[in-house]
Amino acid sequence: MDDIDDNRDEFGVEPICTTLQFAPSTCYAAKSRLPSARDLRDTVLLPVLMTLWVANYKVYGVRKTWKAMIRAGHDVGRDQVGRLMHELGIHGVAS
């Protein structure tokens, strides 16, 4: 959606949506939609995850970070931790 907003003045929303092969109403609906429960939860977990990763010397991978999140009292799945770590651009150190 950011690409559409960046180019809307030059090309217009409808031609861009036609080129991308989806209805303009889809674009407008996405902009007016409230954030999902997953998005809201992610905004809470991202800083916690970064804090735990830094506190563990920036060496923990997904599995150990997930375990640290569980110990810290967060009900989070391993795959979710992996997705959030990827989003933050952080990773573990292989020995």
Q: Would you write out the chain's pLDDT as a tens digit for each of its 95 residues?
A: 777 888 888 888 899 888 989 898 988 888 889 999 999 999 999 999 999 999 999 999 999 999 999 999 999 999 999 999 999 999 999 87
pLDDT score of 28: 87
Quote the crossing angle between the two packed helices 13-20 and 2-11, to the nearest 10°: 120
Sign of CA dihedral 11, 17, 20, 21: negative
pLDDT score of 53: 96
0.85 exceeded by pTM: no
Structure tokens at 51: 């804090």
Residue 61 CB neighbour total at 10 angstroms: 16
